[in-house]
Copies of this chain bind each other. A is one copy, B any other.
């Protein structure tokens, strides 16, 4: 018999799943607690209010992801000068690996991040959790591309983050345009296309 997860976790999991499908405003607390199978009032008891619940969903997995990314970057840097491609893989591969876990949590999380990342309302939250590690990767890219202006490198890195985030958020528009040849949910295939595209993008930047 599966051990009963505590109420807090039940609510967080349900919120994560629902917020990954729809906006913050489009999901009600009643819906979350309903899906979690707990009473309405418990959401307010465990997480002060709706906004704090959303932020806790973001916070719950952020540090684990950041840590995995930094570990991977450090491992590469210990072996010598890191290439742009290696740095990108260190940043993106953990995201894919977590999403590929049989449990659905990370997949929901990645979709949720995709929408939070472009909603001004959550910009402070996103920055608080992800900017420190993003800055470390930006520095690594500056080092790998000493002859490219920093602004150009940073812009390219932001482009990369945006594509990564949306590529793994199951954007289904590609299915119609490919007449069904491509499946949006095939994350390994997306990753395989993504890396050479991004590496090529950095290679295409003008030098100083």
Contact = CB atoms under 8 A, between A and B. Distances in A.
Given A25-B25, A154-B182, A196-B206, A120 B177 contact: no
Contact of A151 (B152, B169, B182, B202): B182
A28 B110 CA distance: 28
Interface in A110-163: 114-115, 117-121, 123, 126-127, 131, 134-135, 138, 150-152, 154-156, 158-159, 162-163
Contacts of A83: none
Contacts of A25: 22-23, 25-26
A201 to B, nearest CB: 4
Top 9 closest pairs, chain A to chain B, by CB: A200-B204, A25-B25, A201-B201, A197-B201, A25-B26, A155-B193, A200-B200, A23-B23, A196-B204
10 contacts: A118-B166, A118-B169, A126-B173, A138-B177, A152-B193, A159-B163, A159-B193, A159-B197, A196-B204, A200-B205
